[in-house]
Amino acid sequence: MTNTLHVRGPGEAAARMREVLGRGPVVALTGAGMSTDSGIPDYRGPDSPPRKPMTYQEFVGDAAFRRHYWARNHVGWRHVEHTRPNDGHLALADLEGAGVVSGVITQNVDTLHGVAGSRRVIDLHGRYDRVICLGCRTVTGREELAERLTELNPDFAERVADIEVAPDADAVLASTEGFRVADCSSCGGVLKPDIVYFGENVPKPRVLEAYALVDRASGLLVAGSSLTVFSGRRFVKHAAGQGKPVVILNRGATRMDDVAALTVEDGCSEVLRALADGYGPRD
């Protein structure tokens, strides 16, 4: 049975988490709740508005959907680019430095774990700062595409104010009519963010790398994920199936609370900071 902790503060939560996880090394699996304190909203948190992310089938099958997406992304990606890691990201990097965390598997595309100093990061769902051609598979930086889109659509981003931005750098816009989309500069093919869309599979080598990281770990720490999506949930099942302790830190219930050794219903930043401070530097 799950041991759910109703916390009286981050210190108490961290102490119980240390009891369950030991000295590790454990793998951290993170979701959108990890980045809310950096100003990036999540999809399924208790206070999150309903969202309907674009699917892979919509993106590849309809030029109007692609125009709509790239117009919104042209506005929204700068918001994500300017965000900074919060204390939860920094704490996981400290835990890696202390030898407690061996690596991070993240469902986020915001790259904040790497910015915070985590060295072993598997970007399960890709990265918002890269673009891939669906024809020749050339990968380019999002900054380069921004320059091309700005040339094609002068002042478009500046005309939009008070936008709402989603976790994948998508912005909510009332109208995108007239926006011009850039094609691949190498082959003229369709450009897509290097992000795994709903309805699209995570590349198999990336999945196998994540499984291997879990195999070598002594436990799994989930932070900021409701574990609704199978792409992340499978690693919890994998760790639990090996008899390894699973600790879940999240605001609200998750799909895998029943297999966790401990669940902590709280935000990530303060609890992870208390966890890292409790371990201290590497012995």
Positions marked active-site: 125
The answer to whether 25 is annotated as binding is no
Place of tokens 């816009």: 173
The answer to whether 48 is annotated as binding is yes
The answer to whether 250 is annotated as binding is yes
The answer to whether 225 is annotated as binding is yes
The answer to whether 32 is annotated as binding is yes
The answer to whether 46 is annotated as binding is yes
The answer to whether 189 is annotated as binding is no
CA torsion sign for 64, 67, 70, 76 is negative
The answer to whether 39 is annotated as binding is yes
The answer to whether 252 is annotated as binding is yes
The answer to whether 154 is annotated as binding is no
Beta strands in the chain (DSSP E): 4-5, 26-30, 101-106, 121-123, 126-133, 139-141, 164-165, 171-172, 191-195, 220-223, 246-249, 262-264
The answer to whether 35 is annotated as binding is yes
The answer to whether 184 is annotated as binding is yes
CA distances (Å), origin 283, targets 23, 100, 228, 280: 10, 11, 37, 8
End-to-end CA distance of the chain: 33
**3-class DSSP state for residue 30?**
strand
Alpha-carbon distance of 5 to 138, in angstroms, equals 47
Place of tokens 């996880």: 21
- CA contacts within 13 A on the Cβ side of 250: 30
Nearest CA among 91, 7, 68 for reference residue 268: 91
The answer to whether 9 is annotated as binding is no
The amino acid sitting at 228 is: T
Annotated binding-site residue numbers for Zn(2+) = 133, 136, 184, 187
Residues annotated within the binding site for NAD(+) are 31-51, 107-110, 224-226, 250-252, 268
- Residues marked as binding? 31-51, 107-110, 133, 136, 184, 187, 224-226, 250-252, 268
